[in-house]
Structure 1
Amino acid sequence: MDINVTRGEGKLQHVVEAGPHKLIADAPSQYGGDDAGFTPHDLLAASLGACTALTLNMYAKRKEIDLQKVDVKVEHADKDGAYVFHRKLTFHGNLTDEQKTSLLGIADKCPIHKILSGEIKIVTEAV
């Protein structure tokens, strides 16, 4: 699926489209935007959080683990020359310590985690 990004109505606002889905990306007012939507960094952190939650729920269902829901909080910022994602997971359900440990390991196997932890190449062309 292609992602299309087109100019929105605000000073720096853009509309991000993926198939029938749309969201607004913008910059905070301190950077000249209207703070009307997600920042690009927020979108990246949201991708990690959403992928983690989906992966954990699929795994728990397949393994018949009583994970009723998982809350994922992702804090993100530049720190000491690196961009750091700090992911905090809250498991809900009747889980053993062994199951919680297993779920923590599975969190690192979500596709977005793998992408962000691996080598990334970006190809840019003008059309």
Structure 2
Amino acid sequence: MPNIIATAEAENTGEAYTTTLQTNQHMLIADEPTDLGGQELGPAPGDFLCMALASCMVITLRMYITRKGWEIGRIRARVNLVKNIDKAAGSNTFYCNLSFSEKLTAEQCEKLHKIAKACPLHRLLNKPSDIITLLE
């Protein structure tokens, strides 16, 4: 049995691009912006990808900060996905910016930068992946 670490289902019933997403007990809506023919009823798939990486980094940082007993209130991650348009097979780039509500020491900055890059999705997205699509 494969080691499944996450599962999601998506269903589109013909209402333009509006798509219902389900994972465990959570339901979300994905859509496209109106200029691409969507109704903008939810984030676009690329936005979900950026949200996943941003939330993974913030959660991983919070776990580390809690274990260390540091007093850091707010952790914010902003992730932008930039498509490489120069090369057909070129890699895309995630730009991740982190900010904290408290002033950090140089040592804390260095450690938190290292921890953010060790979050599970950061590591996953830095490796090549295979996508296997089957028709049922």
TM-score (norm 1): 0.90
- Give the stretch that moved more between structures: 46-55 or 77-86: 77-86
Query: Which residue in the other structure is 1:32 paired with?
Result: 37
1:104 aligns with 2:113: yes
Aligned partners of 1:114 and 1:89: how far apart in 2?
Answer: 17
For these two proteins, the number of residue pairs brought into alignment is 127
Shift of 1:67: 2.1
Shift of 1:64: 1.8
| Residues 17-56 of structure 1: pairs in structure 2 closer than 5 A | 17-56=22-61
1:32-61 deviation digits (Å, cap 9, x = unpaired): 211211111101010000000000000111
Aligned mate of 2:123, from 110, 114, 122: 114
Query: Which residue in the other structure is 2:64 paired with?
Result: 59
Aligned mate of 2:132, from 101, 104, 123: 123
Query: Once superposed, which parts of structure 1, at least 4 consecutive aligned residues long, lie more than 4 Å away?
Result: none
Quick one: which amino acid aligns to residue 110 of structure 1?
C
Q: Please tell me whether the aligned partners of residues 25 and 39 of structure 1 are also in contact (alpha carbons under 8 angstroms).
A: yes
Structure richer in strand, relative to its length: 1
Query: Which residue in the other structure is 2:9 paired with?
Result: 4
Q: Which runs of 5+ in 1 are unaligned?
A: none
What secondary structure sits across from 1:82 in the alignment? Answer: coil
Q: CA RMSD in A?
A: 1.6
Shift of 1:102: 0.6
1:83-102 deviation digits (Å, cap 9, x = unpaired): 22111111123531211111
Aligned partners of 2:70 and 2:104: how far apart in 1?
Answer: 7
Q: Which runs of 5+ in 2 are unaligned?
A: 1-5
